[in-house]
Structure 1
């Protein structure tokens, strides 16, 4: 029998229903693998006892014929989702001891569907980063290594790097992530897994520690398109507690994926092939992706998204501005870290608490955001960025109105890079999101699917972008790409 940790979610569900193994056995296999690969630092807070209790409850429901869609499936929960009674840190010292007295809507939905919590996955602090090196709990390591430099440790991408690393290393069958400007799709590409940012509003944001409220969106990360579809079906749904949650029915995403792409029009935006700094290797993988979809029956058409070049600049005004507002609540008064000394004034406590609690990247973005929102600069920066955002969204609408069903682009401008390689240059680090940010600004669904290995033996994904709330078509196209690519490579640590 296939090793339990190598099973996909869909395969595990079938095995559980057929009584080939139990949820308890499946969970124990993953808990053992977590110990074996603890050096990846993918988890901030493992929850083995809670996992065992949840697995036992799943076995009881399976025995009664009451299994849910995710029954008995062990997953990682990004440590940005509040979990009742289990520490939630957002990867920050300022929340290092915070234990929420409530559960996020997305995690509630997953537990109601029968999923099992293995632990809280590591992340960039407050989801601010593209490499998972800004976490107060240490960087996550990518389970993949370069064939020419096998000893060199690589980043898993960010901010959902712990989730991506855990799924790739087979120490979780799936994981939740959040995507503000690419934080699901970029680490999915770096770690050779599948990751979906749903349409803004598809999954509730209630109970998720906020970064940028008009951009943050929860989504699934797993090893196949089918698994992502199964997870999304369990995660999604209207939530009256979240005013941005869309009152739209949740379709059967998994049922749609095998419909194929015959007759679909796939847009190829010329702006995603910049004149400078674009890797010929990534370009070749993109071209191969186009051929795969054409061979599957789709038609590729050239399109233009003319305001793409302004997306990164607009994002790094809008997102920090919203972050500066959201993070003002961490003041050392109500919860979280408090740094105070005898004789300190209230203002001293604020300054010392925030100075000790926030890392360098979070402080940088708070300063940028506060500046952009300040008197005299609001119109020049924040308001102008929002206008550019509207133009970017209009570009996508024009493309889809012209008859395009889905858009194909690279997910990232490169494969995974080495630890400490780019963190010293924030601007270079921000460029990792150049292909994912436009989708986020427009609130559209975006899926990253692993399709090939680079010459250095590292995974590379392609991104599919769809109309609002048309995850069905995105997943269909993703499944066709997945089948054509037949990507079965594993990280070197799992070989043999």
Structure 2
């Protein structure tokens, strides 16, 4: 029974709770037992979690059961447990951002999205692992050790939000929250066989998110189905007066769009294939699953056309100038004076504030964080600001114009989510530029502020690992990607005979032999 509970979707669990066939305490305990069984630590297991709050989760679950018994659930998802990326402030729970410099910090307040989870009655299982301050594409840059991909524990789960994605793929949680600055929800979703959504910039509050790059960061859902993402997105989304970048208008009906899409009719929908984000440079198996997914969209009634967005070829370089500049500014607050780690320099009897700051930052920040701070500080320095940061912002405007021109022709844009499947742990640690290329297809959406979704498209022929299909929609038209995503998901599940995750070999959940596409052999 415990295994059944951990493998059910959040929507199904919510229905079970409403029908009274299970309790929040039972399903929360089932997920805590699963975490204990498979998560391990830095040297073993999935290592998706940095902190597990069993006591708090079970107390919240008991309160949820009381509300259900009284006939007054706080929300449709009341009692369904969730995991939260460790970059979001959680009152009473550690928030470290995967960094030694925040080791042991317990915020006195909740991020808005966390407050909304609590108000809606979702027990918080714990905080998930991540690249330090969300800087990375593999979750190998966590100060507390890497997370492993449940499909193959010798491979990366994507980054920076690999902990949240791995927790879903390993059935340790039915829902999770992540953040996406250049693809950190969608890219882990692609390589773990899960669904990840980056909402429209400003569509979900960023208050209480420890910022890396303010103009790029966005909180979003990490789930196993498109419908579950829609349910969670509607729960945490909407205007927040505490966030100056929050969009002051209601969300479109995302759940309705997902349910409509699942019926499988995409008649009249125009789908644009971004020519600059597919084909050459993409792993053959990833490209093959992408093309097969396009065929399924055509069968569902969609019109598929090729669209060119020429400036997208400059998106990677643009991002890796803007993001380090903003990160350099944001991380300046970690000065060893107010909170977090403080290290005294050796051999100095009365160190100055500058000496303490230098020693603390040297000990508290990892190599990737230092690399990006140095790059950003250099690009913002006198004499270089306009040549680098200013030029990057102008190219960013051109990228947004390419999106606008494309959306005049089509309803959504599509591409593979990531150019390859999950690579092996340590394979690219010594080559930062190769690591950065993993975000090639996801970065344009962050630069323009448009919403994006990744869902599993099948298994690559070369290695039997998941590939992802990315759907992009115009700003504030998040419902479009939910409709198209749900339709494709339904067609793929029909072809495979069930969800792709049922075929993950490392989880002992495989129903039988499978072919390279994820279909039953």
Output the TM-score relative to the length of structure 1.
0.97
In the alignment, structure 1 residue 23 sits paired with structure 2 residue 36: no
Which residue matches 1:337?
Answer: 341
In the alignment, structure 1 residue 494 sits paired with structure 2 residue 507: yes
Task: Tell me, in whole angstroms, the C-alpha distance in 2 between the residues paired with 1:377 and 1:234.
Answer: 43
| Residues 16 and 23 in structure 1, CA contact (< 8 A), matched pair in contact too | yes
Note the C-alpha offset of 1:274: 5.3
Note the alpha carbon deviations across 1:292-340, whole angstroms, 9 max, x for none. Answer: 1110010011111010110000000000000000000000000000112
Which residue matches 1:148?
Answer: none
Q: Secondary structure at the match of 2:310?
A: coil
Task: Tell me, in whole angstroms, the C-alpha distance in 2 between the residues paired with 1:273 and 1:139.
Answer: 29
Q: Secondary structure at the match of 1:44?
A: strand
Task: Tell me, in whole angstroms, the C-alpha distance in 1 between the residues paired with 2:252 and 2:276.
Answer: 33
Which residue matches 1:265?
Answer: 270
Segments of structure 2 that go 5 or more residues without pairing to the other structure are: 40-44, 510-521
Which residue matches 1:394?
Answer: 401
| Residues 227 and 259 in structure 2, CA contact (< 8 A), matched pair in contact too | no
Output the TM-score relative to the length of structure 2.
0.92
Which residue matches 2:512?
Answer: none
Note the C-alpha offset of 1:448: 0.2
Task: Tell me, in whole angstroms, the C-alpha distance in 2 between the residues paired with 1:353 and 1:33.
Answer: 37
Note the C-alpha offset of 1:278: 2.4
Structure 1 segment 2-401 matched on structure 2, within 5 A: 3-38=4-39, 39-67=45-73, 68-145=75-152, 153-260=154-261, 261-273=266-278, 275=280, 277-341=281-345, 342-401=349-408
User: Number of paired residues?
Assistant: 488
Task: Tell me, in whole angstroms, the C-alpha distance in 2 between the residues paired with 1:127 and 1:254.
Answer: 29
Task: Tell me, in whole angstroms, the C-alpha distance in 1 between the residues paired with 2:15 and 2:454.
Answer: 25
Q: Secondary structure at the match of 1:464?
A: strand
Task: Tell me, in whole angstroms, the C-alpha distance in 2 between the residues paired with 1:258 and 1:164.
Answer: 23
Task: Tell me, in whole angstroms, the C-alpha distance in 2 between the residues paired with 1:485 and 1:441.
Answer: 30
Q: Secondary structure at the match of 2:107?
A: coil
| Residues 154 and 417 in structure 1, CA contact (< 8 A), matched pair in contact too | yes
Q: Secondary structure at the match of 2:500?
A: coil
Q: Secondary structure at the match of 2:160?
A: coil
**After TM superposition, where is structure 1 displaced by more than 6 Å over at least 4 residues in a row?**
none
Task: Tell me, in whole angstroms, the C-alpha distance in 1 between the residues paired with 2:64 and 2:253.
Answer: 22
Does 94-103 or 253-262 show the bigger shift?
A: 253-262
Q: Secondary structure at the match of 2:133?
A: helix
Task: Tell me, in whole angstroms, the C-alpha distance in 1 between the residues paired with 2:81 and 2:57.
Answer: 8
| Residues 289 and 458 in structure 2, CA contact (< 8 A), matched pair in contact too | yes
Note the C-alpha offset of 1:211: 0.3
Which residue matches 2:468?
Answer: 461
Note the alpha carbon deviations across 1:101-120, whole angstroms, 9 max, x for none. Answer: 00000111111111110000
Note the alpha carbon deviations across 1:165-208, whole angstroms, 9 max, x for none. Answer: 00010000010000000000000011100000000000111001
Task: Tell me, in whole angstroms, the C-alpha distance in 2 between the residues paired with 1:274 and 1:170.
Answer: 33
| Residues 69 and 114 in structure 1, CA contact (< 8 A), matched pair in contact too | no
Segments of structure 1 that go 5 or more residues without pairing to the other structure are: 146-151
Q: Secondary structure at the match of 2:241?
A: coil
Task: Tell me, in whole angstroms, the C-alpha distance in 1 between the residues paired with 2:275 and 2:446.
Answer: 19
| Residues 83 and 107 in structure 1, CA contact (< 8 A), matched pair in contact too | yes
Which residue matches 1:476?
Answer: 483
Note the alpha carbon deviations across 1:51-88, whole angstroms, 9 max, x for none. Answer: 00000011011112222122111111000010011110
Q: Secondary structure at the match of 2:183?
A: coil
| Residues 83 and 103 in structure 1, CA contact (< 8 A), matched pair in contact too | yes
Note the alpha carbon deviations across 1:359-379, whole angstroms, 9 max, x for none. Answer: 000000000000010000000
Task: Tell me, in whole angstroms, the C-alpha distance in 1 between the residues paired with 2:24 and 2:284.
Answer: 45
Task: Tell me, in whole angstroms, the C-alpha distance in 2 between the residues paired with 1:315 and 1:242.
Answer: 23
Does 171-180 or 37-46 show the bigger shift?
A: 37-46
Note the C-alpha offset of 1:259: 2.5
Note the C-alpha offset of 1:129: 0.3
